[in-house]
Amino acid sequence: MIFSIGHGNREFEDFIKLLQTYNIEYLIDVRSSPYSKFSPTFNREAFSNLLKRKGFTYVYLGDVLGGLPKDPTCYIEYTDKKHEEARKIDYSKIEKKEFFIKGLERLKTANEKGLNVAVMCSELNPEECHRSKLIGLSLQKEGIIMQHITKNGKLMDQNEVNLLINGGKSPINLWGEIDMTSKRKIK
């Protein structure tokens, strides 16, 4: 099964308890930049070592499944409300990229093998993160429904998160997919 979780401002031990609650064995870090100035415990090297000591396998895939790829063709240029030039991520562009497809294949293989994996990013709420808007939606198109561990530790499946993202509407309608871009302006 494929889960998703955000570390946010959780304490490390609380984070570990959630992984144990859902029998997660492999933690897949999908942060493009695997560091946190607010929670240094979750910085890649330290975090990887702590997880290993607790019996988890840490895998970094932020270079292929991250929400802020280095490829400039994954971004949309636009004019913001202040009439300034800006850009944001277009997830539909990312999901067509070879690097992303290869990363998604690794998750699909883990799922086929019956491994309990969780993809992790920073945001606590799945509806605010590329875990759901990009990875979860891409897996859903492949028939795999991601289970998101929410801020309060409960599970919410991809269908429920889609409804939150789209204000109660399905991400796919009669006219095609609803626009899935990041809400965040990229500097």
Query: Is residue 165 in some structural domain?
Result: yes
pLDDT average, residue stretch 21-42: 96
How does residue 79 score in pLDDT terms, banded at 50, 70 and 90?
Answer: confident
Is 185 part of any domain? no
- Domain presence at residue 95: yes
Among 22, 35, 39, 34, CA closest to 59:
34
Mean pLDDT over 166-174 rounds to: 62
Query: What is the C-alpha separation between 161 and 146, in angstroms, rounded?
Result: 10
Which CATH number is 123's domain given? 3.90.190
Give the mean model confidence (pLDDT) for residues 66-80. 93
For residue 176, the model assigns a pLDDT of 55
pLDDT of the residue at 116? 97
Structural domain range at position 159: 2-177
Is the pLDDT assigned to residue 82 strictly greater than 80?
yes
CB count within 10 Å of CB 143 equals: 8
- The Cα–Cα gap between 45 and 176 comes to 42
For residue 149, give the nearest of 103, 118, 107, 108 by alpha carbon. 118
Does residue 26 fall inside a structural domain? yes
Q: Determine the number of helices (DSSP H) and then strands (DSSP E) in the chain.
A: 8, 10
Q: Using the predicted structure, report yes or no on whether residue 149 has a pLDDT greater than 80.
A: yes
Task: Give residue 86's pLDDT.
Answer: 85
- The pLDDT tens digits of the residues spanning 85-142 come to 888 999 999 999 999 999 999 999 999 999 999 999 999 999 999 999 999 999 999 9
Domains in the chain, number? 1
32 — pLDDT class (breaks 50, 70, 90)? very high
At residue 182, the pLDDT reads: 56
pLDDT tier, 178 (very low <50, low <70, confident <90, very high otherwise) = low
For 59, 61, 170, 182, the CA distances from 177, given in Å and listed in that order, are 31, 26, 9, 15
Residue 7 lies in a domain: yes
Q: Is residue 184 part of a domain?
A: no
CB neighbours (10 Å) of residue 28?
A: 25
Question: What pLDDT shows up at residue 184?
Answer: 55
Q: Are 8 and 122 in contact (CB under 8 A)?
A: yes
Tell me, yes or no, whether 65 lies in a domain.
yes
Helix (H) or strand (E) holding 147: strand 147-149
Is position 20 within any domain?
A: yes
